[in-house]
Amino acid sequence: MRRVLVAVAMVVAVLAVAAVVHASVTKDFTFKSTGKATQPGAVAGVGAAGTYEDIPFTIASGDADGTVSVTLTWTNQVDDWDLYVYRKDASGNLVPVGSSAGGPPSTSENAVIQAQDGPVPPGNYVIRAQNYAATSSAFTGSVKFTAYVPPNQPPSASLKAPSSARAGQTITLDASGSRDPDGRIVDYSWDLNGDGAMDASSGTTPTLQHAFSKGTQYLTVRVTDDRGARAYANATVNVR
């Protein structure tokens, strides 16, 4: 029963990862000023009415975004705009999630929301273009989204070998019990003398045949998955 439960758990994990991988990504879009932010916030007060313009956007519940990159641009090198990005909470309050506030002579600001423990949370967002010290209310902007890539889950390694063998006898080292929960194992490498260095690779074949000289042989298999993560398993063979 335990083996069945473990197998079911692995299938569920793989399906969950697959669902995220194939989820939608929010569509890129552009925006521009409507001329509302005419008053410099450095004079009237940052956040005062007439000193900023808000551009709302939504990340749908079915989207799986890895990053949200917001860029604000203007033309006059003397002007100074600041960029803020907020997410609305359940009460409609604006929660800061990104900002960029440089100064002249730059004519752009860029703020990036980065996925943390999962895709960027869905919900309603607000881009705020803050006129800090600009003589013109004109600006343009863009928002680009990238797909969320789940963190790699490392493989697990398993190694089976006869507990004893005769000197010169060819035996089979078997790592076929190794698993990768969210991909595949692309390499099996083998330390055949216990010195910590890999002596052979069998590529994607999980077994290796080898004959040993007399003595206690300490063996290790190293498995590598398709995203570079590794795991190790050990075995000991007494060769007489």
Summarize pLDDT for 71-130 with one digit per residue, the tens: 999 999 999 999 999 999 999 999 999 999 999 999 999 999 999 989 999 999 999 999
DSSP track, the chain: -HHHHHHHHHHHHHHHHHHHHTSB-PPPEEEE--S---S-HHHH-TT-TTSEEEEEEEE-TTB-EEEEEEEEE-S-TT--EEEEEEEE-TTS-EEEEEEE---TT--EEEEEEE--SSSPPPEEEEEEEEESS-S----EEEEEEEE--PPPPPPB---B--SEE-TT-EEEEE-TT-B-TTS-EEEEEEESSSSSS--EE-TT--EEEEE--SEEEEEEEEEEETTS-EEEEEEEEEE-
Residues 13 and 111: their CA atoms lie apart, in Å, by 33
Tell me if 2 sits within 8 A of 19, measured CB to CB: no
Rg (CA), the chain: 29
Residues 146 and 238: their CA atoms lie apart, in Å, by 54
pTM assigned to the model: 0.71
Summarize pLDDT for 151-178 with one digit per residue, the tens: 999 999 999 999 999 999 999 999 999 9
Residues 93 and 83: their CA atoms lie apart, in Å, by 18
For the cut 90, the answer to whether the pLDDT of residue 9 exceeds it is no
Backbone angles phi, psi at 16, to 5 degrees: -65, -45
One-letter amino acid for residue 200 of the chain: A
Q: Could you tell me how far CA 208 lies from the centroid of its own chain?
A: 34
CB atoms within 10 A of CB 136: 16
Summarize pLDDT for 44-69 with one digit per residue, the tens: 999 999 999 999 999 999 999 999 99
Greater model confidence, 13 or 119: 119
